[in-house]
């Protein structure tokens, strides 16, 4: 394609988010006022975190899948004329002993240094990306939940993050640990729920969940559950972004997705094949988070009746952070 140019008053940047399950790219124009105008957005399932929870290392085939897609993304941002690039890696790379091989491959593929951010920084980037759009329509304080493949970030705040924690529970990690049957057995689901509940016990000591006014869910598991609740036949980002669903409606969707076989999930037209085997674990995590937040809000005399889904997330936060 021909080179795309940005408006004279804007700076064109590229953000790459390399997670446990997916590799995502955003090319955007950032205005002097901090506004973000999307030029290109890509998501590819690469499963970089394949086996990391068990082996402590990034698998060679997972690395090669990631490098191949990174080379494709390098061509996209070159054609778009990006002036600066920030490549952020999260949970899987934080946990891997052989991450130097990852750094070298990314450097060769895209010509920039990958940054492994802490769970706290990941949470703050997600909060910044999500609340810029959500705050227009919904009141704070916001609890932003970024449900990834290897970890789940919780960050509470209003105009800025006030408390945050990264939990070592994610859709890929829990699938590999517990959900081995198709569909998962009751015992497997109970073990997965126990992991999430233990993580939430620790999180609640750091993040005051009961202060939540608006609960905002981000990332592929949440957006896929939302697409299912909406009855979409094909994924529609615009339809999903900003969706407000009743708590009971989301919990029912989680239960139904968890009970499906992999073949039944693959038949859902909106679901990427690389997410079909881990969406059950994502549903467990999202349901447990919603339930815990609802109970915490109720204990403080409030009521959580709805949740918001945002397509604006850590990618937007990364783009806004590019210097």
Question: What pLDDT score does 191 carry?
Answer: 97
In order, the DSSP letters of 115-181 are EE--HHHHHHHHHHHHHHHHTTTS-S-EEEEEE-SS-EEEEEESSSEEEEEEES--HHHHHHHT--S
Residues 6+ apart with CB under 8 A from 291: 251
Question: What pLDDT score does 1 carry?
Answer: 43
Q: Is 81 left (phi over 0), alpha (psi -120 to 50) or beta?
A: left
The domains found in the chain, sorted by start residue, are 11-116 (3.30.420.40), 134-315 (3.30.420.150)
- Do 47 and 65 meet the contact criterion of CB atoms below 8 Å apart? yes
Question: What pLDDT score does 104 carry?
Answer: 95
Count the neighbouring beta carbons within 10 Å of the beta carbon of residue 291. Answer: 18
Express each pLDDT in 249-282 by its tens digit: 999 999 999 999 999 999 998 988 788 999 999 9
Give, in degrees to the nearest 5, the angle at Cα 286 between 19 and 276.
60
- Do 152 and 165 meet the contact criterion of CB atoms below 8 Å apart? no
Question: What pLDDT score does 8 carry?
Answer: 53
What angle in degrees, to the nearest 10, is found between the helix axes of 279-299 and 186-204? 40
The span from the CA of 321 to the CA of 88, in Å, is 11
The span from the CA of 226 to the CA of 204, in Å, is 25
DSSP assigned state of 60 = H
Binned average pLDDT, 10 residues per bin, the chain of 323 residues: 54 92 92 85 89 87 95 94 92 81 94 87 84 81 92 90 91 93 96 97 96 94 96 93 96 96 92 88 97 97 96 89 84
In order, the DSSP letters of 250-318 are HHHHHHHHHHS-HHHHHTSTTS-GGGTTTHHHHHHHHHHHHHHHHHHHHHTT----EEEE-S--HHHHH
């Amino acid at each position: 394609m021909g080179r795309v140019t940005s408006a004279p008053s804007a700076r064109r940047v590229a953000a790459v988010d390399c997670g446990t399950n997916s590799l995502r790219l955003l090319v955007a124009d950032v205005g002097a006022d901090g506004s973000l105008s999307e030029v290109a957005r890509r998501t590819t399932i690469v499963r970089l975190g394949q086996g990391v929870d068990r082996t402590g290392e990034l698998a060679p085939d997972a690395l090669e899948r990631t490098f191949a897609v990174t080379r494709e993304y390098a061509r996209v941002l070159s054609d778009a004329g990006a002036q600066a690039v920030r490549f952020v890696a999260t949970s899987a790379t934080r946990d891997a002993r052989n991450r130097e091989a990852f750094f070298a491959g990314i450097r060769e593929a895209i010509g920039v240094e990958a940054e492994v951010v802490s769970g706290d920084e990941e949470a703050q980037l997600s909060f910044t990306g999500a609340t810029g759009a959500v705050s227009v329509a919904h009141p704070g304080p916001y609890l932003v939940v970024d449900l990834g493949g290897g970890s789940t970030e919780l960050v509470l705040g209003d105009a800025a993050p006030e408390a945050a924690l990264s939990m070592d529970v994610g859709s890929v990690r829990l699938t590999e640990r517990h959900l081995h049957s198709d569909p998962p057995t009751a015992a497997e689901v109970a073990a997965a729920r126990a992991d999430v509940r233990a993580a939430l016990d620790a999180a609640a000591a750091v993040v005051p969940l009961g202060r939540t006014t608006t609960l905002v869910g981000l990332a592929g598991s949440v957006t896929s559950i939302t697409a299912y609740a909406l009855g979409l036949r094909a994924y529609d980002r615009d339809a999903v972004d900003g969706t407000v669903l009743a708590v009971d409606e989301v919990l029912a969707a989680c239960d139904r997705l968890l009970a499906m076989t992999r073949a039944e999930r693959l038949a859902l037209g909106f679901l990427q094949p690389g997410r079909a085997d881990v969406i059950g674990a994502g549903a467990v995590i999202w349901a447990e988070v919603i339930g815990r937040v609802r109970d915490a809000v109720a204990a403080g005399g409030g009521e959580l009746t709805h949740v918001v889904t945002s397509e604006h997330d850590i990618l937007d936060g990364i783009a806004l952070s590019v210097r």
